[in-house]
Amino acid sequence: MKVRKSYLLLGSVTIWILLARLLHGKNTLQLDTYENTAFTTFVGEKALELRGNRTGSPAFIYFFNPIRAVIDGFVQFIRNIIAVPAPNSVIPIIGWLGVVGIVAFVVFATSQWKTALLATSLLLACGALGMWQFTMDSIAMTLAAVLLSLAIGIPLGIWAGLSDRVLKILTPFLDLAQILPTLVYMAPIALVFMIGAASATIATMIYAIPISIRITSHAIRNLNQSPVEASESMGSTRKQTLTKVQIPMAKQMIVLGINQTVMAAVSFVVIAALIGAPGLGKPVISALIIRNVGQGFVAGFAVVFLAILLDRSTSAVAKKQASFVPATAKDIMRRRIIVGIAGVGAVISVFMSRTMLWAAVWPKEVTVAPQVERFTNAATNWVLDNLYIFTVGFKDFISYSILNPLESLLSASPWYVTVAMIVALALIIGGGRTAILAFVLAMGIVLSGLWYEAMLTLTQTIVGTLLTMIVGMALGIWTGRSDRAERVLRPFLDAGQTLPAFVYLVPMLGLFGPTRFTAIATGIVYSIPIVVKIVCAGIRAVPHALVEAATAAGSTTRQIITKVQLPAAKKTILLATNQGLIYVLAVVVIGGFVGSGGLGYLVIVGNSKPELQGKGLIAGAAILLLGVIFDRIMQAGARRSS
């Protein structure tokens, strides 16, 4: 059966290639970038009509506008505290020294002095990069989005953890939120809530809430049931069992959920600058637009420092307990005294930031930004001049040997031939239902009028996923078989998952210039950590008895990997491929900023040019359809292989 399926796949691809060559250039549905179809024109007109009814429509007057006003007021309130001058004042309520003191105190009180020192150093480094104002705006946006996300996500997560029906209802929405590239839903949200902090916060919440729900639900569902049953047998109500037993037991996992929600929020806040979010995303976007690598690195470093600061500060809370030996009364008292002293120091720093101008506004002369920018530009030029074969050479090799032929095949094929191939692949891998779904969604892309652009995006996604899996599989197998390799790579994998995808565009732009390959390389770097972790987990989950039996039979290391471990971990590898594809697609779309073209470029152009707004909105929908098609095919394949 396995051989028959592989032959069917090979035969389908062969037939598709032959038909594509035979019918090359026919019915490709290619459309000029600045040309609208009847459908995109209709959508654009409806979008303008929607904007015009913002002050007269009951839906806006009684629902959307009040939500926008409340969220915008909440964000502005936090910004007035730490980021922008309060009303009738020239300084924020808390100046830079006060913010540093508060961060140091909070981190120390919830973890340990080493983490507090790291957080303080990173915060000061953001100021030294000349990014204090942008950093405070990003923190304010992140804090507002996280508080609102947790207020919704944790209760829903607890409910889903207690109820199978609620989990079943929420799962499709959670899956959709994971598939949906971030760039896709920003335009519709900005259309309804207008460009600004409110729409950026709402978009961030949509991205962050599913993570909070999933982890909280998982925490509740995977508890040791003995204490829960004991509580119920003693007559406790459901509320008492939940608040006195289940939530305290799940606290550490819920704190992990908070950490992941924070990281999702800070990641999205950067790209949300596209719809008016204040913060570090603005200088990053500005650098990408003018192709200034040095300026982009300055802003990028600040984003990296902020991401590490928030990640280490929130994750340290979950890891605070280092020993199961209870602290003595003397230790507790000593800890309280030290925390109290730190609290007094924080109060003093806040007072100084309210009374002394130098402690309220970051001194402009304290900056290393010009030096970092000059050094980065010089280093970039040196790399381009001296490592040509590893930058332009590698880019050209991939472009000419893989990217261009595949793009020619996909974009120049008749649409009906490629749709037939997609349906055939879905039928062979996932079965009849998956094939029907793939056909409906593919026809949706055809009817959108953006099939040609979708094929350009698909080409880059396939190439990026292929290269990601080559590197990710090799590293995943290595870390899965070697504890030492896992320990060495783990910090880099964690750091790779911590950083926002948008930041990776800056160094890749410096290495490869504004080309399609820049977007692909960014997607590879961003996707590799998750692929390596999943493959590593799959390899480590293979029963030791199978490996020992193969070893005893005289199998070589290569035979053990190819004949035992990889087949046994096939389902996990398919999951890794699925996740790699989704991550690559999300970044390739953002790559519209650096010359990748395709659907992502149309979304960006639609945001900036009113006459192409309809086309941008439809491009976002086409990205969603493309992602769902391949996500469902991969998931169905994983289920059928188990």
Contact of 83 with 92, CB cutoff 8 Å: yes
Q: What's the pLDDT at 611? A: 85
The tokens for 605 are 């152009």
Q: What is the mean pLDDT of residues 307-323?
A: 72
Q: Which residues of 464-497 are buried (b: 16+ CB within 10 A; e: fewer)?
A: bbbbbbeebbebbbbbbbeeeebeebeeebeebb
Most trustworthy range by pLDDT among 30-39, 55-64, 176-185, 344-353: 344-353
pLDDT band at 67 (very low <50, low <70, confident <90, very high): very high
Nearest-angstrom CA–CA distance, 350 and 347? 5
pLDDT tens across 477-510, in order?
999 999 899 888 888 887 777 777 778 888 888 8
Q: What's the pLDDT at 75? A: 93
Nearest-angstrom CA–CA distance, 508 and 500? 14
The tokens for 40 are 């995109």
What's the chain's average pLDDT? 87
- The answer to whether residue 25 scores a pLDDT higher than 60 is yes
pLDDT band at 1 (very low <50, low <70, confident <90, very high): very low
Instruction: Choose among 190, 200, 199: nearest CA to 51.
Output: 190
- The answer to whether residue 61 scores a pLDDT higher than 60 is yes
Q: What's the pLDDT at 114? A: 87
Q: What's the pLDDT at 326? A: 64
CATH number of 1-30+387-642: 1.10.3720.10
The one-letter code for the residue type at 531 is: V
Report CA-CA distances (Å) from 260 to 94, 156, 212, 313, 494: 27, 16, 7, 12, 12
Return the higher-pLDDT residue of 216 and 181.
216
Least confident of 116-130, 225-239, 598-612: 225-239
Q: What is the mean pLDDT of residues 604-613?
A: 84
Least confident of 232-246, 282-296, 314-328, 616-630: 314-328
- The answer to whether residue 179 scores a pLDDT higher than 90 is no
What does 249-277 look like in DSSP terms, one character per residue? HTHHHHHHHHHHHHHHHHHHHHHGGGGT-
Q: Model's pTM, two decimal places?
A: 0.85
Q: What is the DSSP letter of 389?
A: G
Q: What's the pLDDT at 142? A: 93
Return the higher-pLDDT residue of 636 and 439.
439
Pure H helices in 132-163: 132-162
pLDDT band at 201 (very low <50, low <70, confident <90, very high): very high
Residue 372 CA, distance from chain mean position: 27
Nearest-angstrom CA–CA distance, 183 and 592? 10
Nearest-angstrom CA–CA distance, 567 and 542? 10
- The answer to whether residue 2 scores a pLDDT higher than 60 is no
